[in-house]
Amino acid sequence: MSKETKYTEDNIRSLDWKEHIRMRPGMYIGKLGDGSSADDGIYILLKEVLDNSIDEYVMGAGKTIEISIQGDKVIVRDYGRGIPLGKVVDVVSKMNTGGKYDSRAFKKSVGLNGVGTKAVNALSTFFRVESTRDGKSASAEFEKGNLTNQESLEETSRRRGTKVSFVPDNTIFKHYKYRTEYVAKMLKNYVYLNPGLTIVFNGEKYFSENGLKDLLSDTINLEDRLYNIIHLKGDDIEIAITHSKTQYSEEYHSFVNGQHTTQGGTHQAAFREAVVKTVREFYGKSYEASDIRKSIVSAISIKVMEPVFESQTKTKLGSTEMGDKLPTVRTYINDFVKTKLDNFLHKNSETAESLQRKILQAERERKDLSGIRKLAKERAKKASLHNKKLRDCRIHLTDSKKDRNLESTLFITEGDSASGSITKSRDVNTQAVFSLRGKPLNSYNMSKKIVYENEEFNLLQAALNIEESLEDLRYNNIVIATDADVDGMHIRLLLITFFLQFFPEVIKEGHLYILQTPLFRVRNKKETIYCYSEQERRDAIAKLSGKPEITRFKGLGEISPDEFVHFIGDDIRLDPVMLDKEKSIEELLSFYMGKNTPQRQEFIIDNLKVELDTIEEEV
């Protein structure tokens, strides 16, 4: 028998606030990451600081917020009321300290727990807060949550407000990099939800006059809208709705008190229900819910007294009540949509007719596909039972959908050797593998029918669970893992085409990535360096003395599982697949995946010349 471990008073530890945050950062900011995903920790740090500035604007103080990100340093400056000067240190370094517990000051605030800026402080190697009000200022500086400098009150002519500067700790956020696209999207959401607010990011201004209508205008191109955007506003609620001519599944953008609830929640569920109920009653027909909501692109924002979220990162609303002595979230949204949307449809017959034609078309397509769908689902279920294509992760055995979605990753890979290496080296708790057989079909311009008839597409759709809505997506990260050769690049392109054609919201919402794997291994007897480019290879050779051994990896299958674990673990490098908002999906697919044209040939030749010139410069 093993010796019993002693358990005494000496085993009991009390951590101070900063130690606990640094030891368990995931409890406060969700996943860490390197900035390749929109929900990585470095963006949550920015959001936590920015939320305080937004709350100042909501309370009528400060119409402009300035943000600067240069390298690893972030600066946020607002022109609100400023932190009370005697509490500048406390509000960023004492847990459960803040002004938002006083409902008189912050009635419908984003941040309620007094945690946000403390987490930023503890997880930064440099953190400075400066408050100006009543012609005086006070400031304090910290390192990893420890106070390093405090300046006493001094007279100043600067405008009132708060300025926060921080540098995320690179021992916690490894190899991190702020991506402008993700920051810009976050800031756009803030101005959509706060018409009249101006945010200046690295010199570029973000402003919205029409709220959620502007959000949908930027999300779906004019030529792809079935009808003009329906934009309805009320007390503590705003919605915007249209339907896409080409998109198959549902797309929702939901917000609570200015917070982007990427995982939905009670308000989004109530909204989906209310739209179906209102449409049925308006037309006097019991249309299928899926036919009504098919191709919908919409947004909803509500304001709730003291909202309850399912995690500190506030990605899913758990509240069922709007506030004390107020109706439930479900009742409030149902009543608003029933009244306002019904009135709109009665006043706008052209929109009502377009919507009904879309519903009837969806109904016909569903009935035409019913037999194929049934067979496809049976095949998918059978394949799942025999584990032919999908090696799932254990986290999907838990009861918490929230945890499953946030933590899990699906690698889509080709060939037995590559999928075998990833399968053996993956984290079986959170990482799953889907194995492709050969090259996927070019699905450009094909109907949804092909998804059910093609075994690869059908099983991939089933694995992801995205047939009806992105809300049911089983994996937060979908990672294409192919060889860095011509065939591998072609497979990537075909898979991206599949998602753009049938499930574009997977890309729009930042779930699709390309796995970066090393091209070279450079090593001597003491050290091994993996290199992802020619420049990194040259740097590694210069760093290692003597004549190091250099290995060129030609494919994923050549990398042993013992080595692969480095590339899909803490040091994983992912390139997000992003959409150019200036071009429609149809334009993109037509140009790259349609018939060969002189314009595409010219594009390929021009880019090949640029690539060759770059290689010559490096050599």
Give the pLDDT score at 486. 80
Of 208-212, 318-322, 378-382, 550-554, give the lowest mean pLDDT range: 378-382
Residue among 413, 381, 429 nearest 488 (CA): 413
Give the pLDDT score at 617. 45
Residue 349 shares a structural domain with residue 429: no
- β-pairing verdict for 573-576 and 512-516: antiparallel
Residue 314 shares a structural domain with residue 412: no
In a domain, 439, yes or no: yes
Mean pLDDT to the nearest integer, 120-135:
93
Residue 58 shares a structural domain with residue 117: yes
* pLDDT above 80: residue 388: no
In a domain, 173, yes or no: yes
Alpha-carbon separation of residue 522 from 477, 534, 553, 559 (angstroms) = 30, 12, 11, 14
Residue 185 shares a structural domain with residue 324: no
Final residue of a structural domain among 188, 206, 224: 206
Residue 146 shares a structural domain with residue 185: yes
On whether the CB atoms of residues 403 and 394 are closer than 8 A, the answer is: no
Confidence band (pLDDT; 50, 70, 90) for 113?
Answer: very low
On whether the CB atoms of residues 454 and 439 are closer than 8 A, the answer is: no
In a domain, 571, yes or no: yes
What are 370's two structure tokens?
């019913």
* pLDDT above 90: residue 29: no
Q: What is the pLDDT of residues 325-358, one digit of tens each?
A: 678 889 999 999 999 999 999 999 999 999 999 9
Q: In whole angstroms, what is the distance from residue 269 CA to residue 217 CA?
A: 23
Question: Which residue range is the domain that position 540 belongs to?
Answer: 520-552
* pLDDT above 90: residue 26: no
Q: In whole angstroms, what is the distance from residue 98 CA to residue 370 CA?
A: 56
Q: In whole angstroms, what is the distance from residue 480 CA to residue 492 CA?
A: 7
In a domain, 370, yes or no: no
* pLDDT above 70: residue 378: yes
In the chain, the percentage of residues whose pLDDT exceeds 90 is 36
Residue 307 shares a structural domain with residue 253: yes
In a domain, 456, yes or no: yes
In a domain, 186, yes or no: yes
Provide the total of helices (H) and of strands (E) in the chain, helices listed first.
Answer: 21, 22
Residue 193 shares a structural domain with residue 224: no
Q: At 296, which CATH number?
A: 3.30.230.10
Residue 457 shares a structural domain with residue 536: no
Most confident of 165-169, 256-260, 413-417, 583-587: 165-169
Q: What is the pLDDT of residues 426-440, one digit of tens each?
A: 888 889 999 888 788
Q: At 63, which CATH number?
A: 3.30.565.10
Final residue of a structural domain among 191, 206, 221: 206
Residue 123 shares a structural domain with residue 195: yes
- The total of structural domains in the chain comes to 4
In a domain, 590, yes or no: no
Final residue of a structural domain among 552, 567, 596: 552
Alpha-carbon separation of residue 520 from 175, 335, 516 (angstroms) = 19, 61, 12
Residue 300 shares a structural domain with residue 322: yes
Q: In whole angstroms, what is the distance from residue 568 CA to residue 477 CA?
A: 12
Tokens 């400031």 identify what position?
139
Q: At 400, which CATH number?
A: 3.40.50.670
pTM: 0.81
Residue 225 shares a structural domain with residue 353: yes
Residue 135 shares a structural domain with residue 260: no
In a domain, 596, yes or no: no
On whether the CB atoms of residues 359 and 287 are closer than 8 A, the answer is: yes
* pLDDT above 70: residue 385: no
